[in-house]
């Protein structure tokens, strides 16, 4: 497979969906299925994700599948990161410009979870946009909006009625040609309903919320990357939907060590390492026996592990950058201009 003869064609394409090792990509000449070279899979960038711009090599030899030979640098990446001996990063979507954080105004929304979502999206390089659905079911949607704005200062917060397609205009700027949007939100929040409203037609069928558990259910499957009438692309896949769980994971440091985080507010220096710094409120708590020194050690270990994880990730992306195929940038820019998908 690695040596199938001279390449017939090399062209840029974008990954639309992935299933069982087959990458469905959109290119100027249409949509095709491709495999990925092992060299690409095992590189620092790893296997392509939905939204990745890739270079595909195709052959006119019958029976030889087109293959992805390169993944271009990512403008942004939504990923799951796990702490451990080796950095494990699973990119679930690449080159996303904005992430809609969809939450229903009917239930209780959790400001701390919202905070973590927003932080996670900002870290990915995309812009977070909070979409509060079911404004029609809420007695005071403006109060809900204000609470969300307070939890996520500087973030666009929009309250909508997705079912009736009301107040979707503020979202339009993120849905124009050239931009890619992903949606995150818990089950039943109204993601499919919002997508249908944005498309102006039913591309995804939803089932009514079950009275008992407040969950919406899909009755049909759907594409993973949808072109919207405004020209923008919307990525929707199970991996992205799960980001919520990962956001919860990433908040675990904060949650498990609430007591230390709270004490640290009283430290003289904002970046206090809780060691020998003067005016350290955490050390003071250890001295007066209100805090177990073992807890501080665990906290410091975990913080150190997260710091190293970040360092390794930065290093990995720098190395990947050095290997980029500069010449293809031009053809990708050209393809983006001419694209029909
Ligand atoms: N009244 C009202 N109902 C809404 C609104 N948005 C969604 N719903 C309803 O809420 C239920 C769940 O909506 P879905 O769009 O299926 O939710 P989802 O986020 O896609 O859920 P999953 O597919 O489980 O992830 C459906 O019955 C929708 O009709 C809204 O703005 N107003
Ligand atoms: Zn301190």
With beta carbons less than 8 A apart as the criterion, state whether 132 and 145 touch.
Answer: yes
> Complex ipTM, two decimals?
0.95
Domain 251-316 has CATH 3.30.2310.20: no
User: Which pLDDT belongs to residue 61?
Assistant: 82
Nearest residue (by CA) to ligand 1, atom 30, is 134
CA torsion sign, 37 to 41 to 45 to 47? positive
User: Which pLDDT belongs to residue 81?
Assistant: 59
Asked if the model's pLDDT at residue 176 lies above 80, the reply is yes
Query: Taking the domains of the chain in order of start, what are their residue ranges?
Result: 1-73, 91-248, 251-316
Pair of tokens at residue 309: 């994880």
Class of domain 91-248: alpha beta
Ligand nearest to the CA of 299: 2
**Which atom of ligand 1 lies closest to the CA of 241?**
25
Q: Which overall architecture, per CATH, does domain 1-73 show?
A: Beta Barrel (2.40)
pLDDT digits (tens, 9 = 90+) for 117-132: 787 888 888 999 999 9
Distance 113 CA to ligand 2 centre (A): 25
Question: Ligand 1 pocket check: which of 165, 182, 216 to mutate, most ligand atoms within 8 Å of Cβ?
Answer: 216
Those residues whose beta carbon sits under 5 angstroms from the ion ligand 2 are: 267, 272, 274, 280, 282
91-248 matches 251-316 in fold: no
**Which atom of ligand 1 lies closest to the CA of 215?**
24
pLDDT digits (tens, 9 = 90+) for 299-327: 887 777 667 766 766 666 666 655 555 55
Q: Where does the chain have alpha helices with state H? A: 38-41, 111-124, 141-151, 191-199, 238-241, 243-250, 252-256, 258-264, 281-287, 293-322, 326-338
Question: Residues enclosing ligand 1, CB less than 6 A?
Answer: 133-134, 136-137, 161-163, 185, 187-193, 206, 208-209, 215-216, 218, 241
Least confident of 127-136, 146-155, 258-267, 298-307: 298-307
């Amino acid at each position: 497979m690695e040596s199938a003869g001279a390449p017939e064609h090399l062209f840029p394409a974008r990954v639309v969906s992935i299933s069982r090792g087959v990458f469905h990509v959109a290119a100027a000449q249409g949509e095709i299925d491709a495999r990925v070279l092992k060299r690409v899979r095992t590189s620092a960038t790893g296997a392509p994700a939905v939204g990745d711009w890739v270079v595909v090599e195709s052959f006119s030899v019958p029976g030889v599948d087109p293959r992805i030979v390169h993944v271009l640098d990512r403008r942004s990446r939504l990923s799951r990161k796990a702490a451990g001996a080796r950095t494990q990063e699973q990119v679930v979507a690449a080159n996303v410009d904005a992430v809609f954080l969809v939450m229903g105004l009917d239930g209780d929304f959790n400001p701390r979870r919202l905070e973590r979502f927003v932080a996670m999206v900002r870290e990915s390089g995309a812009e977070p946009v909070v979409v509060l659905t079911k404004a029609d079911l809420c007695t005071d949607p403006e109060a809900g909006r204000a609470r969300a704005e307070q939890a996520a200062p500087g973030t666009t917060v929009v309250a909508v009625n997705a079912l009736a397609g009301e107040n979707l205009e503020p979202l339009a700027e993120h849905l124009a040609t050239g931009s890619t949007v992903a949606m995150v939100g818990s089950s039943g929040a109204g993601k499919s309903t919002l997508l249908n409203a944005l498309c102006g037609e039913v591309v995804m069928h939803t089932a009514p919320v079950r009275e008992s558990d407040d969950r919406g259910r899909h009755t049909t499957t759907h594409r993973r990357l949808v072109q919207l009438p405004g020209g923008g692309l919307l990525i929707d896949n199970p991996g992205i939907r799960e980001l919520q769980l990962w956001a919860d994971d990433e908040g675990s440091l904060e949650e498990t060590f609430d007591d230390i985080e709270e004490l640290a507010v009283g430290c003289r220096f904002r970046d206090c390492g809780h060691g020998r710094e003067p005016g350290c409120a955490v050390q003071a708590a250890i001295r007066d026996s209100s805090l177990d020194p073992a807890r501080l050690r665990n906290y410091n270990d975990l913080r150190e592990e997260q710091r190293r994880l970040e360092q390794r990730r930065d290093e990995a992306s720098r190395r990947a950058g050095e290997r980029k195929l500069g010449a293809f940038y031009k053809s990708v820019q050209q393809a983006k201009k001419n694209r029909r998908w």
